[in-house]
Amino acid sequence: MIVKALRVGLGQLIVFGDWISRPAKRKRDAAAQAQVEQQAKGLALYQFHACPFCVKTRRALHRLNVPVALRDAKNDPQHRQALQDGGGRVKVPCLRIEEDGKTTWMYESNDIIAYLDKRFGSI
């Protein structure tokens, strides 16, 4: 019980630290931002709100100004089951990528951030 309270408290501290130190969003012209938004429609991030690796991934999304649907795999049983069924395991963060009729499940925050930087960093 004490460990859970400590974990919840630390999680909230991580979220607060993210909130006060969040990087500025990338600025793009309207056409480029519309292109990013169109490409991001096929993406969804399965995450836990206070997970430090999820916070790291959400910070990258914010920095790149990429609007991705966030799916709470901790508190929403439907999203948790979708992650289990589609990705094969309940591990976060996980980016679901739908493109060209194919779905890919990408785990590991560093891999996700590298993918996002490569795909949206130059737009």
What interhelical angle do 52-64 and 109-120 show, nearest 10?
0
Judged on CB neighbours under 10 Å (0-12, 13-18, 19+), 60 is buried
pLDDT of residue 8: 77
Domain that holds residue 81: 2-23+32-120
User: What's the average pLDDT block by block, 10 residues per block, for the chain (123 residues)?
Assistant: 79 83 91 95 96 96 97 96 95 96 96 97 86
Number of domains in the chain: 1
pLDDT of residue 7: 79
Question: Which tokens hold the place of 120?
Answer: 């949206």
pLDDT of residue 5: 78
pTM: 0.89
CATH code at 113?
3.40.30.10
